[in-house]
Structures are given as C-alpha cells and as structure tokens.
Chains A and B, each alone.
Chain A
Amino acid sequence: GESVGLHLPTLSVQEGDNSIINCAYSNSASDYFIWYKQESGKGPQFIIDIRSNMDKRQGQRVTVLLNKTVKHLSLQIAATQPGDSAVYFCAENKDAGNMLTFGGGTRLMVKP
C-alpha cells in the first residue's frame, strides 16, 4: 500500500465487462479497510468497506475481497460503466488505529 509516485497503474476495460482492482496492504494489524473512488477534480468518495473479521462484502455492483494471509484486498466492479472511470484507492487503518493510510491508487479507464 505504498504511494506509487508519478505513474499510476492503469486498468483499461471495455464497458460492460467486470473490473478487478487489486491492492496490497502493508500492516497485518490493520483491521479496517476501505475503497475510495476519486474523480478528476473531486475529493475521494467512499465505495465500500470491510472489517478484518470478514473476507467478502458486497454492495451494489461492487464486491470487496480480503485475504489476510497474503495481505491482499481487491475491488470487483460488475458491468463496468463509463461513470466508473476514476482513480481507486484502498486504505487501511494501520495498527488498528484511527488514521487511514492510503495506497497509491489505480486508474480505471472504461472504453465505450
């Protein structure tokens, strides 16, 4: 979950396909994880969260999977739409504290 720097990883998908965005988090003591979506010129917006006592959580068109063994988090978006184009960040509360630490982000581009 370290910041990537200048070049965001980019995922390009066709409209209607499913998207999977991955995130490796860093702290095994983290017990809360969130996915945020950030559109150009806007602040990050909450998508879905999951606590460490779960390994899967579903929302509307989105599913978050948590694999604590390998410290891996993924966001699945079903039937991706052009409005899903944005940068997606995973975040964890390191050491089970009150602060969220954000990963570097992945840019999702949806082709019509």
Chain B
Amino acid sequence: DAGVIQSPRHEVTEMGQEVTLRCKPISGHDYLFWYRQTMMRGLELLIYFNNNVPIDDSGMPEDRFSAKMPNASFSTLKIQPSEPRDSAVYFCASSFLGQGFGELFFGEGSRLTVL
C-alpha cells in the first residue's frame, strides 16, 4: 500500500482565497483524522471520521473550516476564506480500530502558507 496520500504538498495562497486539501487514506482503514501542526500549538486534532461519518469536529477552529468524507477513499479539508493565521502543516492520518485502538498512519502533510 502507498500509505496515506495528501495533496497538495505545498500551497501558497492569498488571504481570502479558498483552500482545499485532499487526503486518500489507507485502503481498509475505518478512521480518518485531520491534524494541524504549528510551532506555537504543536499537533492539534481538527476532526475525525469513522466509516465516513464525522464523529468529533470540536477541534475545527472556526466556521471557515469544513471537512468532508464522501467515500472511504477520499476526504477534503476546506478553508474559506483563508487567513494568514491558518498557515500551518495539515496532516491527514488513518487507522483501523476494528480490534481496539491502533496506530495512526500519517501522510506527508500539506504545508499551507497564506499571505
């Protein structure tokens, strides 16, 4: 398996623009997580899905952020409108929790810079 695949790897955009980050989890995994990493706040969980259903989005900072998982092999994280403080590395991770808690497999991340 190729692992968790994220795109784009780097995105530079201007304040006010819409940003869409994409994730393809590992096939067969039933949980998908979106994390944000900054120097100030470290790794923060934004939202996670179980079997394509959002379970906890309490980490989503504002209404400008939204996430979807239309099927088991694809998820998006959208920021609209983007702001400079959204600049961070966004990680997607997936796992199979069918037999109890297990490790998360992370993608390589999407580095977002909002000017």
Counted as pairs of residues, one from A and one from B, with CB atoms less than 8 Å apart, the total is 59
Q: Find the residue from A41, A49, A99, A103 having the highest chain B CB count within 10 A.
A: A99
- Whole-angstrom CA separation of A56 from B22 in the bound complex: 38
- Whole-angstrom CA separation of A101 from B58 in the bound complex: 13
Asked whether A104 and B42 contact (CB < 8 A) given A43-B109, A44-B91, the answer is yes
How many of A's residues come within 8 Å of B, CB to CB?
Answer: 25
Question: Secondary structure of the A side of the interface?
Answer: loop
Question: Secondary structure of the B side of the interface?
Answer: strand
Asked whether A4 and B101 contact (CB < 8 A) given A43-B106, A43-B107, the answer is no
Contact code string B14-55 (vs A, CB < 8 Å = 1, else 0): 000000000000000001010100011111110010100001
Q: Find the residue from A4, A6, A44 having the highest chain B CB count within 10 A.
A: A44
A-B contact pairs, 10 of them (CB 8 A): A36-B106, A42-B108, A43-B106, A43-B109, A44-B104, A99-B56, A100-B45, A100-B104, A102-B35, A105-B42
Chain A residues in contact with chain B, CB under 8 A?
Answer: 3-6, 31-32, 34, 36, 41-46, 49, 89, 93, 98-105
